[in-house]
Amino acid sequence: MVTDRSALRSIRVVEAGTQTTIQDTGRPGLAHLGVPRSGWLDDNAARLANRLVGNAEDLPVLECLLGGLVVEPATSTTVAVTGAECEVRAGGRAVAHGAPVVVRAGEQLSVGAARGGARCYLAVAGGIAVDPVLGSCATDTLSGTGPEVVQPGTVIPVGPARGTPAGEGQQLSAWHAGPRVLRCWPGPRADWFTDEALTTLATSSYVVHPDSDRVGLRLSGPPLERSVEGELPSEGIVLGAVQVPGDGRPLVFLSDHPTTGGYPVVAVVDPRDLSVCAQLRPGDEVRFRPLAPRDAAG
């Protein structure tokens, strides 16, 4: 819905790349009703983008997979792009990544293809101002809750800018080159796996599969053998859960994960490393580093 106010303050999406969604901190607290948490995948990068344009940290932003996003603000607007490394242009001129940028009325802001990392965040001064669903503006790609996935031609309302854009020199977000390491806790069903499987998980390298999405990071690598067979009665799933489906290949659940599941969870990625998960791209290598012995649960 376009309101009078948003007709003034809005951005029009010219190109949406592979997948662009509106995201905020999501809908935690509704998992008992089967509603995924959703929300941005890279918390560090999204909050940084908001700070850079002078927003409260939790305002909705655009999350863009692998870059390729082009937007055109209706009025002169301060924006910031964070997350995956990419070329940023405003009105055709190269501008800084990870810094506030003024885009004048009639100019386009383009986010180039991601060269390192997977997800770019675009914050707009005033924040994306669509109607929340169940308390959040996040698009949940699993259940379809929240706004539709952003398409070219979409006009997105923007709220009134209140804060002062922050200076440059902020920390860039958590993607980095080289093998990535995910610190992890024992999962609720670590004891459903053989000792060899737990050693395999802790010592092997896994490769991010192209089927990875906002629901989960699917991994190729040595399968994990179970010591307990049979079906697990459905149980609640946490963000970062490393679930092992029938083929033995682990998958790391991200923001749009289902709320319950019937496959055992062998480990849980430490919340501090979820931003790393957000920035892994197909083909990237990743390792798990256990934080505590498997019997920590007592």
**Residues at the site binding another protein, with contacts judged by CB under 8 A:** 28-35, 37, 133-134, 143, 145, 185-189, 233-238, 240-241, 258-261, 265, 268, 270-271, 292, 296-298
State the minimum distance, in angstroms, from the CB of residue 31 to another protein: 4
**How many C-beta atoms surround the C-beta of residue 262 within 10 A?**
12
Choice between 96 and 296, CB closer to another protein = 296
Classified as helix, coil or strand, 31 is helix
List CB contacts of 9: < 8 A, sequence separation 6 or more.
Answer: 74, 75, 77, 126, 129, 157, 158, 159, 160, 161
Provide, rounded to whole angstroms, the least separation between the CB of residue 65 and another protein.
Answer: 23
User: Which DSSP state fits 7?
Assistant: H
Place of tokens 């053989």: 194
**Nearest residue (CB) to another protein, 51 versus 214:** 214
Closer to another protein by Cβ: residue 78 or 145: 145
Nearest distance in Å: CB 5, another protein: 21
Cα distances from 104 to residues 90, 142, 181, in angstroms, run 8, 36, 41
Cβ–Cβ contacts within 10 Å for residue 94, how many? 10
The residue (of 153 and 293) whose beta carbon lies closer to another protein is 293
Q: How far is the CB of 232 from another protein (least distance, A)?
A: 9
Q: Which is nearer to another protein, 19 or 259 (CB)?
A: 259
User: Cα(232)–Cα(218) distance, rounded to whole angstroms?
Assistant: 20
- Quote the least distance from Cβ 296 to another protein, whole Å: 6
